[in-house]
Structure 1
Amino acid sequence: MEQTMTVNGWEFQVITLLGHGKGGYSWLVSREGREYVLKQIHHEPCDYYVFGDKLEAEERDYQRLRNAGIPVPGLLDIDRIQERILKEYIPGRTVCDLVAEGSLLQECVTQVQALSKAARDAGLNLDWFPTNFIPFENRLFYVDYECNAYMEEWSLEHWGLRYWTRTPEFLEYWKQHSGK
């Protein structure tokens, strides 16, 4: 693992890997005492998703989400040459972790249902998987920028909510990915 990574010439200290998704690796990084998320785009194949220009999609989707009123971390910088994105860091544990330990507050479910309505009204679906949401200061943030045209089969109600409680699908996912 690199100890530092750069975005447009600015050097950041790597703290830890936060996650690996369809489009990239997200790292917690710091500079001058502040923490950020640095997303490194990857080009690994994905059997169930077709990508175009990932950087362009991230930038476009960020604007679409903000226009829809979805709370997301701020987009701070894009390094097109290295295919890196610098985002605001939203501290806290993911909804996935909270579901696994049985401590997800009903307030989070109420907020994600409101986000679902706002997204649907804007003609969008988010990636409703609970690893993409972090409650912070009484507000639920969507920490990914991925969004797609609304399709009922991929809505929160028809797909996502099955992973927001300790359903058999969630427990199988947790068993495979938590190392427990």
Structure 2
Amino acid sequence: MEKMNVNSRAFSIIKLLGKGKGGYSYLVTDGKKEYVLKQIHHEPCSYYQFGDKLQSELDDYKRLLDIGIAMPKLLDYDRENERILKEYIKGETVFYMVLNDCLPNACIEQVKEMCKILYPKNTNIDYFPTNFVFQDNILYYIDFECNDYMEQWNFENWGINYWSKTSEFLSYVEEHK
């Protein structure tokens, strides 16, 4: 089994969870517990500009923590290897639930509640449904990315387009087969 270190701790990779704009997320274990290890990448992204990706993740985590968004705990980070270790929130993503027609109404209600606390703090999160996990009746935002509020990227104008089987959602599914 392939291993990755975060500082001096070794973790075995169980599987790739996904690739985002800023990195690859892996389900890993230390032999006792499961975690998410995010490896920052420097692949180009035509629609998003980055500075120091690791520092952005750390700053965004603090910002969302201060706002009070339900999300995994940041457990450690490794600046040299550009890795973040965070709590693993087990469960299906909102994307999976939309795809399989089993999204509970509570998810929509809870993301709207998140918006009520984010918008007054001049903050948007990435509302794409792969970034949310529903566990024990709580909707968790499992990414740390956030940005200053822009109406065009809020949940009502952008995110909601991917929280049901809309043409945008189905096009995304088709393009990423």
Task: Return the TM-score normalized by structure 1.
Answer: 0.96
- Counterpart position of 1:16: 15
- Counterpart position of 1:55: 54
Distance 2:5 2:112 in 1: 37
Distance 2:156 2:117 in 1: 13
Indicate the percent of aligned positions where both proteins have the same amino acid: 53
Q: Which amino acid aligns with 2:137?
A: N
Deviates most, 168-177 or 52-61: 168-177
Q: How far apart are 1:174 and its partner, in Å?
A: 1.4
Distance 1:38 1:167 in 2: 31
Q: Does 1:70 align with 2:69?
A: yes
Distance 1:6 1:79 in 2: 8
Q: Does 1:45 align with 2:58?
A: no
SS in 1 for 2:108: helix
Hey, which bits of structure 1, 4+ residues long, moved more than 2 A?
A: none
SS in 1 for 2:63: helix
Q: CA offsets, 1:132-164, max 9 Å, x none?
A: 000011100000000000000000001000100
Q: Map of 1:21-170 to 2, 5 A cutoff?
A: 21-170=20-169
Task: Return the TM-score normalized by structure 2.
Answer: 0.98
* Structure 2 unmatched ranges of 5 or more: none
Distance 1:48 1:175 in 2: 20
How many residue pairs get aligned? The number is: 177
Q: How far apart are 1:172 and its partner, in Å?
A: 1.2
Distance 2:16 2:65 in 1: 26
Distance 1:22 1:34 in 2: 27
Q: How far apart are 1:69 and its partner, in Å?
A: 1.1
SS in 1 for 2:115: helix
Q: Which amino acid aligns with 2:62?
A: Q
Distance 1:163 1:137 in 2: 23
Distance 1:167 1:86 in 2: 34
Q: How far apart are 1:32 and its partner, in Å?
A: 2.8
Q: Which amino acid aligns with 1:14?
A: I
Please give the root-mean-square deviation of Cα atoms over the aligned residues, in Å.
0.9
